[in-house]
Structure 1
Amino acid sequence: MMDLKNIQPEKVFHWFYELNQIPRCSGEEKGVSDFLVSFARERNLEVYQDEVFNVIIKKPATKGYEKSDTVIIQGHMDMVCIKGKGSNHDFKKDPIEMIVEGDIMRADNTTLGGDNGIAVAYGLAVLDSKDIKHPPIEVLVTTSEETGMDGVHALSNEHISGKILLNIDSEEEGVFLVSCAGGANMLTTFKLEKQKKSGNGLKIKISGLRGGHSGMEIIKQRANAIKLMGRILSECNNNADIRLSEIQGGTKHNAIPSEAKATILADDLNMAKECIDKQVINFKEEYRVEDNGLTIEVEEIKIKDVYTKKLNDELIDYMMMVPDGVYYMSKDIDGLVQASLNNAVIEEKDNNIVITTSVRSASDSSLREIISVLSIIARRTNAKTEEKGSYPAWQFDQNSKIREKAVKVYGELFGKEAVVSAIHAGLECGLLKEILPNTDMISFGPNLYDVHTEKEHLSISSVERVWKFLIKLLEDLK
């Protein structure tokens, strides 16, 4: 076990360490869910685990707080599981290796799990405490947030009743979120049709992109590996009459894809290479600021079969036509993205080629517009579409008392004014507000960086400050 004695807050990082010993990729949360249940039972706390492994743990109020409104501390137990090039980490069985470098905690070439394990660690530290003053507590830990908020979709209000909810799933200290985007995933499916055709071909690999969270980082206009691959294929198809043999890119619906690869057959390999070289020059110029690590590798290989000409052309046309990135900026809040889309994953699956596009918007009408655009492009290229995993926006509440209290406490503690803001990423608060319409909500958290990438890291001192803030906020909710 790593030495946590000199890392504060010790109890929070103790529980974060314990969580990181348990594999908890989205969709594989039974182990960590059972751990949370055991934690509660060992302390004689009331606990409820539902059929999708959401966990609710209740702790009575401390003396003098019995009549205070119940406070929900909420986060999700799953994490995005991404590893960097050369990593042998097995997310199904290996613990996350936590590395401390000064004020930074990171993992060994994998995601750290701070999103959102740090929220769960805060909740466990409160539940385990004997000296923190607080109202009645309900710690709500949901599942599969990262893959469509499936856990909160399955949640009911049968076992939870708090009037104040503290969502600890934000990534910038001192910024209190009071509104978030809604969204949906669009699956565009092409029937995979191949034919025998052999010859000399090329394997193209795009890598070295920064990627990142498709809500938080979409405004930074980082390169999307799938869109870049579409541009390469279109250029080659127009000039060298290529035929795709295989294509794959991206890993998660909410991560900007940092890698993509494709194999192509070409009648004129030299012309195909020239087309690729031309695009490499274009890309390096276009993304010299945000993605200067861009690498495109080309390798000659033997091809045995290819996509039919019809599928080849329709798929490449779709990849070129489909929009990506920021779609609309907010007209109400400077610097806030209103609507966006991320072409997140392309893969051969079940005899189909499936493209997953994550669509986000603070406006339902804008969301519907983008989904219609995707449907039209798919229809024109003989593909089918399916909408999955939709979630509502969290609307701003002008009369939020917890917002006023949080801002006041933060200012008193740290001598500076907190920022009240909205976020383009999706939070579970939108769905929770539908389940608990009379519950006052706010979202906050410590400084996390490069989430949803193998470079994810957090600020240890920020985790400590947010812990002090949480303790003081609970104490003041009498």
Structure 2
Amino acid sequence: MMILKDLEPKKVFYFFEEISKIPRCSGNEKAISDYLVNFAKERNLEYIQDKALNVIIKKPATKGYENVPGVIIQGHIDMVCEKTSDSDHDFSKDPIKLQIDGDYIKATNTTLGADNGIAVAYALALLDSNDIEHPAIEALFTTEEETGMTGANELDTKLLNGKVLLNIDSEEEGIFYVSCAGGLRDIITLPIEFEEVKENYTGLRIKVYGLLGGHSGMEIIKQRGNANKLLGRVLYDLLKYDIRGIYINGGDKSNAIPREAYADILVKDIETINERVKYLEEVFKNELSITDPDVKISIEKIESTDKVMKKSSFEKAINILMLVHDGVQTMSKAIEGLVESSSNLGVVKTFENRIEFTSATRSSVETLRDFIHNKSEIIAKLNGATITTSAPYPAWEYKQDSKIRELMKRVYKDMYGKDPEIAAIHAGLECGILSGKMKDVDMISFGPNLYDVHTPQEKMSISSVKRTWEFLLEVLKEMKNY
């Protein structure tokens, strides 16, 4: 049964629900990419599907717009796949279970995928139409944006002819983004050694949970708690009570602030450990009373083991958890309220002979991004670990002369009687990569209201989707005056 069938605009919500049935976690986009190809074939539209599974679908200009500069409608087809700890959802095959809650569309115990499924839905509704005035349209659907912007990096932009690019990957209606941060991913790898323990210990799992998490770019300014960092503080405190480490695990995505983390340990004095954990829970509740009032630390007995990390390995792991950078690092001096650089310790995972600590670093100033990376190099070196860097992407620099920005400002004020906000964003947008490849293309980013993206609490405003669609159609109509 179609959940969104009665919502307006009908075609936008129809296609949003259709793509919500298709698995599309980053790195698993073959099915959604093929769906787009079949969509184009069924409508006799020109299309291109490249090796990275990016798809371009082209639609000719409507009458009277033949000589207007072409417009690229751009969004990414992958989504961050997060779920609650009690969910049995299988992202590799299960459709997203949509629900309507007042003005919001949500998912049941998973991320919604409105980031960036709503851009895909807008583009498909536009391509499917026969009554909308528009210039030549090139709908550009890119892959693996959430894990390093692989699709945008591998895209051959010579396949595109448009001179204006509308990136629909922003999350606040009425805010037009004209600049974004660049970033990279650091992975600190700590070799660990194990040994047998013959003393009498009790196995415990210490878990930090109940945090809100969020997008490591958009929500980093809210200073929400990071479960990996809090777990590091717990373990550091408990070291003095002769605990032995077995396993550390936290977070799932480098670009999502981790909501949960746990460590399996062996202890001798359970009573003291319980007291310290209760104390630390109160400490965290006090420190995070505004941002994460529901933070909790649980203790659960587990089966004991005779194989544990050597004390030196365990202590080095805790050192890294304590020292690695996290949260806002610098604020912009030029734009009030804009985070200039940040880092997010998103994933900690124990393997057979190593622990990996994965951080996402962002900055609108490349040298500050590199400075944070250099400090991480030192932390790794001092603890006998190595560091590798992946998925670097450039910042999108502000363009002084932008005709599409001025046109959209005028249209917005005519429609709503107020000026839109022109802003920079502390998150990576594919405009950073695409602007470097297509220097003569005029770009801007906008979108409807989305909340708590990259978390199972993600939701999208129905009324905002409608207003943003109407605004998009008016912008396309006004392209005659570009």
TM-score tier after normalising by the smaller chain length = over 0.9
Superposed, 1:263-412 pairs within 5 Å as 263-304=264-305, 305-349=307-351, 351-412=353-414
What is the DSSP-based 3-state SS (H/G/I as helix, E as strand, rest coil) of the residue aligned with 1:340?
Answer: strand
After the TM superposition, which of the residue ranges 100-109 and 348-357 deviates more from structure 2? 348-357
Aligned mates of 2:24, 2:352 — CA distance in 1 = 26
Contact 2:58 2:137 in 1 (8 A): yes
Deviation per residue, 1:110-168 (Å, 9 max, x gap): 11110000000000111111011111110000001011111111111131121100000
Aligned mates of 2:288, 2:477 — CA distance in 1 = 48
Tell me the equivalent position of 1:152.
152
Tell me the equivalent position of 1:229.
231
Superposed, 1:242-257 pairs within 5 Å as 242-257=243-258
Tell me the equivalent position of 1:116.
116
Amino acid at match of 2:289: R
Aligned mates of 1:390, 1:83 — CA distance in 2 = 27
Aligned mates of 1:259, 1:5 — CA distance in 2 = 36
What is the DSSP-based 3-state SS (H/G/I as helix, E as strand, rest coil) of the residue aligned with 1:372?
Answer: helix
Tell me the equivalent position of 2:475.
473
Aligned mates of 1:243, 1:264 — CA distance in 2 = 5
What is the DSSP-based 3-state SS (H/G/I as helix, E as strand, rest coil) of the residue aligned with 2:146?
Answer: helix
Contact 1:330 1:336 in 2 (8 A): yes
Contact 1:248 1:346 in 2 (8 A): yes
Aligned mates of 1:21, 1:267 — CA distance in 2 = 50
* Alpha-carbon shift at residue 271 of structure 1 (Å): 2.9
For structure 1, the residue ranges without an aligned partner over 5 or more in a row are none
Tell me the equivalent position of 2:45.
45
* Alpha-carbon shift at residue 100 of structure 1 (Å): 1.2
Q: Report the count of equivalent residues.
A: 477
Contact 1:21 1:95 in 2 (8 A): yes
Deviation per residue, 1:24-64 (Å, 9 max, x gap): 11100000000000000111111000111000000111111
* Alpha-carbon shift at residue 352 of structure 1 (Å): 1.9
Amino acid at match of 1:100: I
Alpha carbons of 1:236 and 1:5: their partners in 2 closer, same or farther (altered >3 Å)? closer
Aligned mates of 2:5, 2:229 — CA distance in 1 = 47
Amino acid at match of 1:218: I
- Output the aligned Cα RMSD: 1.1
* Alpha-carbon shift at residue 13 of structure 1 (Å): 0.4
Tell me the equivalent position of 2:168.
168
Superposed, 1:402-441 pairs within 5 Å as 402-441=404-443
* Alpha-carbon shift at residue 201 of structure 1 (Å): 2.7
Tell me the equivalent position of 1:142.
142
From 451, 454, 478, the equivalent of 1:452 is 454
What is the DSSP-based 3-state SS (H/G/I as helix, E as strand, rest coil) of the residue aligned with 2:413?
Answer: helix
Amino acid at match of 2:251: G
Alpha carbons of 1:318 and 1:41: their partners in 2 closer, same or farther (altered >3 Å)? same
Aligned mates of 1:324, 1:264 — CA distance in 2 = 24
What is the DSSP-based 3-state SS (H/G/I as helix, E as strand, rest coil) of the residue aligned with 1:75?
Answer: strand
Contact 1:73 1:137 in 2 (8 A): yes
Superposed, 1:186-225 pairs within 5 Å as 186-197=186-197, 199-225=201-227
Contact 2:5 2:14 in 1 (8 A): no
Aligned mates of 2:351, 2:12 — CA distance in 1 = 41
TM-score by length of 1: 0.98
* Alpha-carbon shift at residue 303 of structure 1 (Å): 2.6
Tell me the equivalent position of 2:27.
27
Aligned mates of 1:387, 1:336 — CA distance in 2 = 25
Contact 2:3 2:99 in 1 (8 A): no
Contact 1:203 1:263 in 2 (8 A): yes
Aligned mates of 2:471, 2:133 — CA distance in 1 = 13
Amino acid at match of 1:303: S
TM-score by length of 2: 0.97
Contact 1:222 1:291 in 2 (8 A): yes
* Alpha-carbon shift at residue 300 of structure 1 (Å): 2.6
Aligned mates of 1:384, 1:191 — CA distance in 2 = 9
What is the DSSP-based 3-state SS (H/G/I as helix, E as strand, rest coil) of the residue aligned with 1:406?
Answer: helix
* Alpha-carbon shift at residue 431 of structure 1 (Å): 0.3
Aligned mates of 1:123, 1:193 — CA distance in 2 = 52
Aligned mates of 2:290, 2:358 — CA distance in 1 = 27
Tell me the equivalent position of 1:464.
466
Aligned mates of 1:350, 1:429 — CA distance in 2 = 39
Contact 2:3 2:98 in 1 (8 A): no
Aligned mates of 2:188, 2:214 — CA distance in 1 = 22
Contact 2:345 2:359 in 1 (8 A): yes
* Alpha-carbon shift at residue 270 of structure 1 (Å): 2.9
Contact 1:62 1:136 in 2 (8 A): yes
Q: Does 1:76 align with 2:76?
A: yes
Contact 1:190 1:315 in 2 (8 A): yes
After the TM superposition, which of the residue ranges 105-114 and 167-176 deviates more from structure 2? 105-114
What is the DSSP-based 3-state SS (H/G/I as helix, E as strand, rest coil) of the residue aligned with 1:57?
Answer: strand
Aligned mates of 2:353, 2:55 — CA distance in 1 = 37
Tell me the equivalent position of 2:262.
261
Deviation per residue, 1:347-402 (Å, 9 max, x gap): 02363211100000000010010000000011001110001000000000010111
* Alpha-carbon shift at residue 101 of structure 1 (Å): 2.0
Amino acid at match of 2:81: C
Q: Does 1:183 align with 2:175?
A: no
After the TM superposition, which of the residue ranges 10-19 and 85-94 deviates more from structure 2? 85-94
